[in-house]
């Protein structure tokens, strides 16, 4: 009985992670990024003027 619960929890987490990944990929790279507030590559107006490519 415990193995069924463990396997069920693993599959539930895998489904959740897959759903979250698909949802983030639909937003685009910068919209889903956790650094979007301070990233100069995203084109945020308040971001520093320097670029990663300089």
pLDDT tens digits, one per residue of 2-42: 999 999 999 999 999 999 888 877 776 666 666 766 766 66
pLDDT at 32: 62
pLDDT at 17: 93
pLDDT at 7: 97
pLDDT at 54: 46
The domains of the chain are located at 1-47
Nearest to 42 by CA among 53, 31, 50: 31
């Amino acid at each position: 009985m415990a193995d069924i619960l463990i396997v069920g929890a693993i599959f539930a987490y895998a489904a959740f992670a897959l759903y979250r990944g698909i949802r983030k990929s639909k937003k685009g790279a910068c919209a889903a990024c956790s650094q979007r507030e301070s990233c100069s590559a995203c084109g945020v107006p308040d971001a520093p003027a320097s670029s990663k490519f300089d």
